[in-house]
Amino acid sequence: MEGAERIWFDGSLVEYDEMKVHVLTHALHYGSGVFEGIRAYPTDRGAGVFHLTDHLQRLRRSAAQYYMDVPYSLEELAAATHETIAANRLPSCYIRPLVFRGHGEMGVNPLNCPIHVMIAVWTWGAYLGEAALENGIRCMISSWRRIGPNMIPATAKASGQYLNSQLAKMEALKHGFDEAILLNEQGMIADGSGENVFAVQKGRLLTPPISASCLPGITRAAVMEMAAEMGIETIERDLTRAELYFADEVFLTGTAAEVTPVASLDDHHIGTGPITKQIQKTFFDVVHGRHPLSDTYLEFPV
């Protein structure tokens, strides 16, 4: 991973090349890990971490969902995140905290396996490419359905659930698209493989409710707040695929994807539009510390 020199593992910084975990790690076999994706942006005051507290709270909630006791408090995890960024000298980076079940016992029951925590950082530019941020991406509706709330709760961010996202992503790439959008069990729009979905219709934003089996995205919430500041209303309601085909604009949000326009869906042309561009500009001004809202969203070491 570009720029990664040291990884925080169970309380210490370990050289990147010396990092080892056992092949009988429970999480490797059964997906028993929970994680976050967070970004730090370069500002005049150093690396500003976007909504660090919210991400770490979601990490702890995801862990609680799977009866994992995280052996570090929120404050300790926040300090460890800043320490890892500083140790790698990366004011602009992607941050990946992971809490996982280690090796100790095999079998589906994870409860007797030790809990490990690691935080890695590396340089990661535009997830879907720079051109994607400018011109938008080609998406398809996946033939894979998003995991339902009584299968694997989409509200937690667990390693195993990303097999569902991987199937959708691989299908999209193999069919020549950039990204997949998944429907839920009811056939309504849920999520992208790693992003939340927004449509613009008559000057308002529409986005599926969390109950549609989408991840409660930190970027999603921030974009809704930024839109409100800009006088743009957001309505959370179920959306059909055809509503997206014929929306004025469609965009995806996520820590990795940031605010990415959807140029087409299932080869129906949508194009990029003024509201997506306005939201994207505000988002990048905020995360780079150039906006009055920056202090609300960026967190620095205490």
Hey, which residues are catalytic here?
A: 157
Minimum CB distance to ligand PLP smaller for 47 or for 190: 190
Any contact of residue 213 with ligand PLP (CB under 6 A)?
A: no
3-state per-residue secondary structure call for the chain: CCCCCEEEECCEEEEHHHCCCCCCCHHHHHCCEEECCEEEEEECCEEEEECHHHHHHHHHHHHHHCCCCCCCCHHHHHHHHHHHHHHHCCCCEEEEEEEEECCCCCCCCCCCCCEEEEEEEECCCCCCCHHHHHHCEEEEEEEEECCCCCCCCCCCCEHHHHHHHHHHHHHHHHCCCCEEEEECCCCCEEEECCCEEEEEECCEEEECCHHHCCCCCHHHHHHHHHHHHCCCCEEECCCCHHHHHCCCEEEEEECCCEEEEEEEECCEECCCCHHHHHHHHHHHHHHCCCCCCHHHHEECCC
Window contacting ligand PLP (CB under 6 A); options: 107-115, 200-208, 210-218, 231-239:
210-218
- For ligand PLP, the binding residue among 178, 195, 249, 299 (CB under 6 A) is 195
Q: How far apart are CA 298 and CA 294, in angstroms?
A: 6
Minimum CB distance to ligand PLP smaller for 37 or for 102: 37
Name the minimum Å distance from CB 218 to ligand PLP.
4
- For ligand PLP, the binding residue among 191, 259, 260, 289 (CB under 6 A) is 191
Number of residues engaging ligand PLP in binding (CB under 6 A): 15
Contact 4, 120 (CB under 8 A): yes
CB-based contacts of 106: which residues, under 8 Å, 6+ apart?
24, 26, 29
Name the minimum Å distance from CB 158 to ligand PLP.
11
Of residues 104-133, those binding ligand PLP (CB under 6 A): none
Of residues 10-49, those binding ligand PLP (CB under 6 A): 37
Minimum CB distance to ligand PLP smaller for 118 or for 189: 189
Any contact of residue 207 with ligand PLP (CB under 6 A)?
A: no
Window contacting ligand PLP (CB under 6 A); options: 62-70, 89-97, 126-134, 194-202:
194-202
Q: How far apart are CA 73 and CA 50, in angstroms?
A: 19
Name the minimum Å distance from CB 60 to ligand PLP.
14
Minimum CB distance to ligand PLP smaller for 32 or for 159: 159
Minimum CB distance to ligand PLP smaller for 37 or for 97: 37
Any contact of residue 275 with ligand PLP (CB under 6 A)?
A: no
Name the minimum Å distance from CB 166 to ligand PLP.
11
Window contacting ligand PLP (CB under 6 A); options: 84-92, 191-199, 234-242, 265-273:
191-199
Any contact of residue 215 with ligand PLP (CB under 6 A)?
A: yes
Of residues 234-273, those binding ligand PLP (CB under 6 A): 253-255
Q: Give the pair of three-digit tokens for residue 34.
A: 């929970």
Q: Give the pair of three-digit tokens for residue 187.
A: 């056939």
- For ligand PLP, the binding residue among 189, 205, 218, 287 (CB under 6 A) is 218
Any contact of residue 219 with ligand PLP (CB under 6 A)?
A: yes
Contact 168, 144 (CB under 8 A): yes
Q: Interface with ligand PLP by CB under 6 A: which residues?
A: 37, 165, 191, 194-196, 214-215, 217-220, 253-255
